[in-house]
Amino acid sequence: MSDKKTQLEEIEKNVKICQKCRLCKFARNAVPGEGNINADIVFVGEAPGEVEDATGKPFVGRAGKLLESLLSEIGLKRTDVWIGNIIKHRPPENRDPFPDEIEACQSYLIMQLKIIAPKLIVTLGRFSMNHFYKEGKISRDHGQLYRTSEYNVFPVYHPAAALRNPDMAMALKKDFVKIPEVLGKIKDGSLLRKSGVFTNAGNTNNNNLQPKGQLGLGF
């Protein structure tokens, strides 16, 4: 059985030669993702932009600078966490990824997350959130913890959207500062001991509060 690093490197190799969708024809470099493979927190964005395409690294353009500054406000460096995307090749002109491109690419992220096994996944923007939680609506669900069958998912606005919209920038900052508390509660198990919606987090028979078995935990 190979170790985490070897398994992730194997996935990276496959991402770099991937031709499962049209995006590889336009892109200069694939962007498999990078960071601390033993991290508690993983950040998942949408797709590489221009600078990411040029360098093969995730979130190294303007949105990445904002992400780094938000991380530093909660005492983290980008090397403390793992950062990746749903889509591994840049869509032309940074257009939204098409459903068939998401479909073709998502198995890489699924495998990467299985290996890294983070305690918390912070999704950046709606495409990333919808990968984990199809019914999610970013304007409603940002800043709330969702427990899927496999992961704790905390959706926030995409940093690129926050760069264009001051209200979203404010909301992103407010949601970000909750991350240490959310992680702390996941780690010490105290989410399940609280009242209200928290209590229902442990009750898989009670779907009254939540759509389709996904559990939204108020933060």
**What binding mask, one character per residue, do residues 58-97 give for ligand URA by CB under 6 A, x or -?**
xx-x-xx--------------------x------------
Is residue 154 a contact partner of residue 146, using CB atoms and an 8 Å limit?
yes
CB of 129 to ligand URA, least distance (A): 12
Q: What is the largest CA-CA distance in the chain?
A: 52
Is residue 158 a contact partner of residue 46, using CB atoms and an 8 Å limit?
yes
CB of 86 to ligand URA, least distance (A): 8
Residue 155 touching ligand URA (CB under 6 A): no
Residue 160 touching ligand URA (CB under 6 A): yes
CB of 49 to ligand URA, least distance (A): 4
Residue 33 touching ligand URA (CB under 6 A): no
Is residue 105 a contact partner of residue 88, using CB atoms and an 8 Å limit?
yes
145, β-bridge pairs: 217
**At what angle are helices 99-116 and 4-16 packed, to 10 degrees?**
160
**What binding mask, one character per residue, do residues 104-143 give for ligand URA by CB under 6 A, x or -?**
----------------------------------------
User: Quick one: which H or E segment has residue 154?
Assistant: strand 152-156
Residue 46 touching ligand URA (CB under 6 A): yes
CA distances from 40 to 43, 48, 56, 76, 168 (A): 10, 23, 23, 12, 26
Residues 6+ apart with CB under 8 A from 72: none
User: From the list 52, 53, 101, 141, which residue makes contact with ligand URA (rule: CB under 6 A)?
Assistant: 52
User: From the list 42, 47, 105, 182, which residue makes contact with ligand URA (rule: CB under 6 A)?
Assistant: 47
Q: Which stretch binds ligand URA (CB under 6 A): 55-63, 73-81, 134-142, 199-207?
A: 55-63
Q: Which is nearer to ligand URA, 39 or 160 (CB)?
A: 160
For strands 120-124 and 41-45, give the pairing.
parallel
For strands 145-147 and 152-156, give the pairing.
antiparallel
Q: Which is nearer to ligand URA, 61 or 118 (CB)?
A: 61
Residue 200 touching ligand URA (CB under 6 A): no
Residues lying near ligand URA in the complex (CB under 6 A): 31, 45-49, 52, 58-59, 61, 63-64, 85, 160
